[in-house]
Structure 1
Amino acid sequence: MNVVCPFCLKVNKIPKKDSYLKANCGECKNSLLETTPIELTKQNFDHVVVNSDITVIVDFWAPWCGPCKMMGPIFTEVATKYALKALFVKVNTQDQQELAMRFNIKSIPTLIVFKNAVEIKRVSGALDPLRLSSLVNENL
């Protein structure tokens, strides 16, 4: 399966397994098991979403948004449970207004789930860890 490195954004082809003890990027050698959400821009958004064979969870947020600030740590925490099962990414709608318009983001935070580069689910509003985990599990 194809996985985008969270450090250098190189596409890596790795065997699909239930769990991984080790998986490193062929380009930068960093761990593909890193789960810290990646900040995306209009320049790299399509590259990451199109080249990810795993589910991509996009958090559209802004730094001035109270519910976004509340959900940020939850998004990062839940991401740790899904190494090489789902890729968690963030889009700052204040800095990336073109992406916000492209995806018709009307309120934030908004989460969009992509599978095979196609939007399959959208949820607006802050989620607690249980609801976010349920959203991810439903769409793996």
Structure 2
Amino acid sequence: MDHSFHHCLLLAQTVFQKQVVLEAAEHGLLPGQSKILDYLLSHDGCEQKSLGEAFHLEAATVTGILRRMDEAGLIKKHVKEGNRKSQYVFLTEKGRKMAAETVRPIMKSCEEQALEGITEEEKAILLKGLQKIYENMTKGSKR
């Protein structure tokens, strides 16, 4: 494959995300829901706006994804005392089970496939490089 850097980065992200979405769909999850479930396993009870910030999504997009997740019984939203403007998102037992027993194994499987044949040293370099790219691309950005 003889592509430019940006093309390779976009292709890798696109096929990885497509695989995650396809596998998650087999379990009834809609696009966007798997990454939010995964995030909430480590950030249960976070503010709704922090989900948008974590994934660089517009507030309306997050609201739509969360509405469908709430309807499916995966999450509940609450307003905490003293902060009526902010909604906080919590996993339900169904959502926690889906995240831990379905989403995490899908992510792990996709990561293993993506990193097949790549040494631990190469993985460390790749991760460090991707983190630096993210930092560079978000420098001075409001998101």
Considering fraction of residues, name the structure with more strand.
1
Considering fraction of residues, name the structure with more helix.
2
TM-score band w.r.t. shorter chain: under 0.3
TM-score of the superposed pair, with normalisation by structure 1: 0.24
**Larger Rg, first or second structure (1 or 2):** 2
